[in-house]
Amino acid sequence: QVQLQESGPGLVKPSETLSLTCTVSGGSMTTYYWSWIRQSPGKRLEWIGYVFSSGTTNYNPSLERRVSISVDTSKNEFSLRLNSVTAADTAVYYCARDSSNYGEDAFDIWGQGTMVTVSS
Amino acid sequence: SYELTQPLSVSVALGQTARIHCGGNDVGSKNVHWYQQRPGQAPVLVIYRDIKRPSGIPDRISGSNSGNRATLTISRAQAGDEADYYCQMWDSGSVVFGGGTKLTVL
């Protein structure tokens, strides 16, 4: 079955760029929507944005100025870049798959999550 | 922006029925999904499109959605049901999550 695995630095300095990659195994990325979701230490879940397998993106308006999500289907991975990070960006970052080929549905597969701390 | 409201905590006696509500303006006209999150683990989808169960989710877990409230119902509660539960929907092209409810099984 399809599995997701996040990877990237666990510590990022303030004002720098957070970069994470999600590797998809056990299935194709084609015709699915792939999202990044984060969870703050206070436990609230926040959707960051998605990328479709074609490269089309859609971002949370509250993060849109700082975020970029890209996909490389040949490597079976998609990536997140978040610029100008502050301590408020400290969270567990999850990648997840939208269950529908049409998007805007439930997230049926999640990665295990990776903790990212913003600190000098 | 749209908001989904959940109680911070719900308690249920072992073997009894727990109901976790998710409130939002006319939420009954939207598809609501529910996730279970145990400590230290990623969320797991337990109900999608209001009432559907993914494979592997027991039929003790059910959902409903009408008016201004969606509800996750857990019947015959077990110790293993103790977790945080989140409702989720899409609104105007963005994802909305409820704040989460901690379910305690007494």
pLDDT value of residue A41: 86
- Is B42 in Cβ contact with A45 (below 8 Å)? no
pLDDT by 10s per residue, chain A, length 120: 999 999 999 999 999 999 999 999 999 999 999 999 999 988 889 999 999 999 999 999 999 999 999 999 999 999 999 999 999 999 999 999 999 988 889 999 999 999 999 999
Query: Which among A3, A22, A107 is the top mutation candidate for probing chain B, defined by the most B β-carbons within 10 Å of its own β-carbon?
Result: A107
- Is A110 in Cβ contact with B100 (below 8 Å)? no
Check if the beta carbon of residue B71 is closer than 8 Å to that of residue B65. yes
- Is B42 in Cβ contact with A44 (below 8 Å)? no
State whether residue A104 sits within 8 Å of chain B by CB.
yes
- Residue A103 and residue A90: Cα distance in Å, rounded? 27
- For the segment B11-60, what is each residue's pLDDT rounded down to a tens digit? 999 999 999 999 999 999 999 999 999 999 999 999 999 999 999 999 99
A49: left (phi over 0), alpha (psi -120 to 50) or beta: left
Closest CA to B1 of B20, B25, B21, B22: B25
Chain B: residue whose CA lies nearest to A61: B94
Q: Which of B33, B42, B44 sits opposite A111 (nearest CB)?
A: B42
